[in-house]
Chain A
Amino acid sequence: MTRTLLSGNEAVARGAWEAGAIVGVGYPGTPSTEVLENLVRYEGVRCEWAPNEKVAAEVAAGVSLAGGRVLVTMKHVGLNVAADPLFTLAYTGVGGGYVLFVADDPGMHSSQNEQDSRRYAFAAKVPMFEPSDPAEALEMTRLAFDLSEEHDVPVLVRSTTRISHSKGVVELDGGRREAAPRPYRKDPAKWVMVPANARRRRVDLEERLARLAMHAEASELNRMEMRDRTLGIVVDGAAYRVVREALPEASVLKIGMVHPFPEGLVRSFASQVDEVAVVEELGPFLRDLVVQAGVSVRDVDIPRWGEVTPASVRSAFGLPAAPTREAVQGLPDRPPLMCPGCPHRGVFWALKRLGAIVTGDIGCYTLGAAPPLAAMDSCLCMGAGVSMAHGAALADPGRPVVGVIGDSTFAHSGITGLVHMAYNGQAGTVVVLDNRTTAMTGHQGNPVSGVTLSGEPGAALDLEALAAACGASWASTVDPFDLQGTLEALREAVAEPGLAVLIAKAPCALLEKSVNDPVAVDEEACTACGACIQLGCPAISRAESGIAQVDAMICVGCGQCVQVCRFGAIVPAGPACDLGGNAR
Chain B
Amino acid sequence: MSDVTTVVLAGVGGQGTILAGDVLAKVAMSEGYDVRLSEVHGMAQRGGSVVTFVRFGQDVLSPVVDPGGADHLIAFEMIEAARQLPLLAPGGRLVVNQRIVPPLPVLIGAAEVPEGLEAVLADQGAIFVDADALACEAGSSKSANIVLLGAASAGLPMAVETWEQVIAGRVPSATVDANLRAFALGRDACLKGACR
Contact = CB atoms under 8 A, between A and B. Distances in A.
A581 B42 contact: no
Nearest to B104: A337
A366 B46 CA distance: 12
Nearest to B120: A328
Interface of A is mostly: loop
A581 B141 contact: yes
Contacts of A371: 104-105, 108, 110
Interface residues of B, number: 66
Contacts, number: 205
B41 A110 contact: yes
A109 B43 CA distance: 7
Contact of B26 (A5, A109, A324, A536): A5
Contacts of A194: none
B102 A109 contact: no
Contact of B108 (A133, A165, A533): A533
B185 interface: no
Interface of B: 1, 12-14, 22, 25-26, 29, 34-49, 60-64, 66-69, 79-80, 82-83, 85-90, 99-114, 117, 120, 124, 132-133, 136, 141
A166 interface: yes
A337 B102 CA distance: 12
A538 B34 contact: no
Interface in A128-171: 133, 161-162, 165-169
Contacts of A533: 107-109
A31 B41 contact: yes
For the complex of A and B, 5 pairs with smallest distance between CB atoms: A110-B42, A336-B48, A322-B68, A30-B42, A245-B62
Contact of A328 (B29, B41, B63, B85): B85
Interface stretch (A11-19, A307-315, A486-494): A307-315
State which size class the interface on A falls in: 35 or more
Given A166-B63, A323-B68, A538-B107, A328 B35 contact: no
B103 A335 contact: yes
A325 to B, nearest CB: 5
A274 interface: no
Contacts of A581: 132-133, 136, 141
A186 interface: no
16 contacts: A30-B43, A109-B44, A167-B25, A307-B64, A310-B69, A324-B68, A328-B83, A332-B102, A332-B105, A332-B106, A334-B49, A336-B44, A338-B46, A339-B47, A364-B43, A581-B132
A538 B66 contact: no
Nearest to A578: B136
B162 to A, nearest CB: 14
A395 interface: no
A242 interface: yes
Contact of B99 (A241, A246, A582): A582
Contact of A542 (B1, B13, B38, B109): B109
Contact of A335 (B1, B62, B104, B117): B104
Contact of A541 (B13, B60, B106): B106
Given A166-B63, A372-B108, A336 B132 contact: no
A330 interface: yes
A153 B111 CA distance: 55
Contacts of B39: 165-166
A330 B114 contact: yes
B35 A5 contact: yes
B108 A331 contact: no
A470 interface: no
B62 A31 contact: no
A323 B48 CA distance: 28
B104 A441 contact: no
Interface string A551-580: 001100000000000000000000011001
Given A241-B61, A328-B120, A332-B106, A577 B136 contact: yes
A537 B136 CA distance: 23
A134 B110 CA distance: 42
